[in-house]
Amino acid sequence: MANGPAVGIHDLSFATTEFVLAHTALAEHNGTEIGKYHVGIGQRSMSVPAADEDIVTLGAAAAAPLVARHGSDGIRTVIFATESSIDQAKSAGVYVHSLIGLPSAVRVVELKQACYGATAALQFAIGLVRRDPAQRVLVIASDVSKYDLDSPGEATQGAAAVALLVAADPQLVRIEEPSGVFTADVMDFWRPNYREAALVDGQESITAYLQAVEGSWKDYTEQGGRSLGEFAAFCYHQPFTKMAYKAHRHLLNYNGHDTDAAEVTRAIGHTTAYNNVIGNSYTASVYLALASLLDHADDLTGQAIGFLSYGSGSVAEFFAGTVVAGYRAHLRTQAHREAIDRRTSLDIARYRDLHERSFPTDGGDHPTQAQTTGPFRLAALRDHKRIYETR
């Protein structure tokens, strides 16, 4: 364990979209038996962005409550993790920096490695805070997962942003050393620059994920990590909710443990409540699982939580955190429930219209229809520039 103060997640907030599509509506449209969604992949609904919402508006909405509660003093770094980037050069975090009123003496960068990027951001943030414990780092994970209409991946779509304030002596979760890491060059999921929707080999992706679970856990134990029995709960990346169950059963099998259904549910059941109704949020997913766990579980004070972060292509990391005494006083459970409950239901026609909408590429003046009731909106694309405004 490194010397110096404990470092970890001081505060956590998430935001999701204006709209929601129920899987019952999708199933009725495409003739799928609803059990394939509710049971097969463990999804009940998906968040759908309004025309004037994107990773910037979601990221700013997630981050603003952290700044409102703690102020901006000491925040000298913003790390924005996403795999649905809006620009090949400028970090989406720079727009957020402006929208939430951070001072100019801040470095801002964007990180990418599929769904793993936010964990890289968290680990880099911990390193910065260890170097100067007076500093705090704002980590934002924001994504809109999008697949082609009528494709196998369509039912796993979703959108959300999670913002983490990383600091010394954190109020929620102390992040421990060591980490177990794993990389393998596989083509299970990718999105070339010329495509808006990702490409995915579903079976290859499940196989690659489970391989990464093994590899990162093996490295974690070789680095001197905790034993499996020490963990009270596990937060897995959830491309769909049932994947967390597959992953945990695989980890138990790999370690020669019984895969009793009740034991699996005890370990991960509380982590899936938000993903079940939001859908895949890519980089935000594993930290949405953490939010769900902290908001729904009985008192976890002093308990160890395992994190398995996976990003296709592929990179994975297994690490541990310990829940801090008094954490419940700092949770945003009510705000999180309101973020989910405020969404307006879409019919299938309106959902498909929003899905297929894209900006022209001619550099003209293209205002967006005002739809979101959230605090920030994408007002227009003008001269190839994205114009944001505070509502």
Instruction: Give the residue numbers annotated as catalytic, written as ranges.
Output: 83, 115, 237
Q: Are 77 and 125 in contact (CB under 8 A)?
A: yes
Tell me the backbone φ, ψ of residue 3, rounded to 5 degrees: -75, 165
Alpha-carbon distance 149 to 48, whole Å?
13
Tell me the backbone φ, ψ of residue 230, rounded to 5 degrees: -80, -10
Q: Which two tokens stand for residue 307?
A: 């994190």
Q: How many CA atoms lie within 13 A of 68 on its CB side?
A: 11
* β-bridge partners, 79: 109, 139
Q: Are 346 and 46 in contact (CB under 8 A)?
A: no
Alpha-carbon distance 85 to 328, whole Å?
33
